[in-house]
A and B are shown apart, each in its own frame.
Chain A
């Protein structure tokens, strides 16, 4: 098993005809993902990369049975695209787009309340269940099917961590990039809950970073609900306070936002902290060896 995406995923790509949408849809297809439909308003009725294109998400779902959406819509219209997919009843939306205004996301979160949709991202690399489904922009080849779940706020740092795991022969059940924005659709705690319930996930690797309090919420979940081991690292020990470190959410505003504080809280909750970002793989190997 795995979480969020697998062999049964029928992917819809919003913004499939754009340059990034095209490039990454092609790579998802090559990996073996079933891309069922694309949506680009005005291009309905055509085919792109062999995939039927529709004008609206609702029509694409009705005609193809698509059950997850991958979004490459530019930031100014991305929130509208997410709202359209929620309105259409899409069970899972994975939004890659970086740079969506925060107040647009406030509306999205409000509209999500009480709806059956789960949102991953925005500003994330997507979701990958190795050997089953790649719904995102991550490099396919570095992954290996297995039993370790990975959750991260970062894209490329996750690729590095996944490579470490794979080179040690440690496969992954699912890798989830929750994104670098201040208001992610799903939090660490949300995804930890899914991994805790997934019988094929034996341990979880969590890659946090400075800013916000999501790692603290994750620590609460680990302390009270998590029986599987968690290996954690939090990036940004050297980041100066008050500066936005690339990601919109990565800015230290109070003590809680510091990497040292987050690692302390995660450690106290029972997570094993990797001493450096280069040792996440080895730390995971040790933890698995103790099971």
Chain B
């Protein structure tokens, strides 16, 4: 799960990490008010769940409160398109108004879980202010890492290694180490999947200041962090994905094609989408229906397809293991009873209780296109979108 920059900075501040003075505004008038409270130059930053805001015009400088109001009015209520969003962009409903900080240097600091060592790794670089992937490509020697063993937690030596790596000096090393210890505590306390401060500014008088921050959280751990769950801004997410989630379909991702897919299992769902493309079509979505003991999620998946005007045909591909094919079949029948389904549906069933599932579908009298395996299913659903098969 993602949160906004202003929320991330509030969490950093709670953990004793210095951030610029600022507040979030939902209207240009509020932005002006905050700018006048801060006084002097301010930065107006669009609050969206996407990187690349600066280049996209989502971050503006304002020398006065009037300029702050103007900048805010240019951002609030618009959609920001960055290299990380689709062409439709993401909505800007709030801006962060912050004092403009003069910094001598911009550093990089982050914590994430390293898949190879299976440990949290803290990464630091003196090449801050740019994407770390780019630093990794252009100057890998400038990235320093400390792997943190959970048996001992974050220790000062982890911090010194990184602080000296970033060429900090004197008292800055101790200050940076304290900041890193605080960031690690936040990472562990809140089950972050990423805690990034970029850039981490070094001010003219040598203080460290978190100028921008990104905090992501482990979805699997949200059950124990009600406070974090409440921070989610659903308007930033893809509407179809939010709709799916509200209907109990947690593994739905919007894709750019016109074939609705309902599959059990993430790997099989990805493979089905790959195969559809191989057969000359494009999936409208990735949908892993998961394991189910009732028909509701099947019916809701069909509601999703009906609600998505792009969908021209649907492929249901179920290989029952934990998921029982008879339950899926009952769900399909219920979906046809509850709504008008205006597109052809191709069905491929296999696995646990498949005979019962086939019997339920046959007795329902619903006109479905049957597929014998998932290659056949992909081929038939692509044909169906072209109107060659009913």
Contact = CB atoms under 8 A, between A and B. Distances in A.
Contacts of B351: 139, 142, 156, 159
B220 A110 contact: no
B271 A235 contact: yes
Interface in B177-231: 188, 191, 193, 218-221, 223-224
Nearest to A136: B321
Interface in B211-253: 218-221, 223-224, 251, 253
Nearest to A103: B191
A1 B380 CA distance: 41
Nearest to B149: A110
Given A75-B220, A76-B223, A243-B253, A276 B267 contact: no
Interface string A242-285: 11111111100010000100000000000000011111000000
Given A101-B218, A105-B118, A278-B374, A180 B151 contact: no
A209 B270 contact: yes
Contacts of B58: none
Interface in A199-234: 207, 209-210, 212-214, 217, 233
B321 A138 contact: yes
A185 to B, nearest CB: 10
Contact of A245 (B119, B269, B320): B269
A183 to B, nearest CB: 5
Contacts of B84: 242
A157 B221 contact: no
A101 to B, nearest CB: 4
A246 B218 CA distance: 13
Given A138-B321, A245-B286, A156 B265 contact: yes
Contact of B113 (A106, A152, A214): A106
Interface in B103-157: 113, 115-116, 118-120, 133, 149-151
A20 interface: yes
A239 interface: yes
Interface string B306-329: 000000000000011110000000
Contacts of B320: 139
A137 interface: yes
Contact of B283 (A180, A213, A235, A238): A238
Q: Which one of B218, B271, B278, B321 has the highest number of Cβ atoms from chain A below 10 Å of its Cβ?
A: B271
Contact of B253 (A101, A212, A233, A245): A245
B373 interface: yes
B218 A245 contact: no
A155 B151 CA distance: 33
A100 interface: yes
A101 B221 contact: yes
Given A101-B220, A163-B350, A246-B266, A238 B274 contact: yes
Contact of A246 (B193, B220, B286, B293): B286
B270 A239 contact: yes
A196 B1 CA distance: 40
A78 to B, nearest CB: 10
Interface string B268-297: 111101111110001100101000010000
A278 B275 contact: yes
A210 B118 CA distance: 18
Interface of B: 84, 113, 115-116, 118-120, 133, 149-151, 188, 191, 193, 218-221, 223-224, 251, 253, 255, 263-271, 273-278, 282-283, 286, 288, 293, 319-322, 350-352, 373-375, 378
Given A102-B218, A103-B113, A155-B267, 13 more contacts: A101-B218, A103-B191, A137-B322, A152-B267, A160-B271, A209-B270, A235-B268, A239-B253, A245-B269, A246-B270, A248-B220, A249-B115, A250-B266
18 contacts: A20-B322, A102-B191, A103-B221, A139-B321, A155-B322, A156-B267, A158-B267, A159-B268, A213-B116, A217-B116, A235-B267, A237-B274, A240-B255, A245-B288, A246-B267, A250-B267, A254-B133, A275-B278
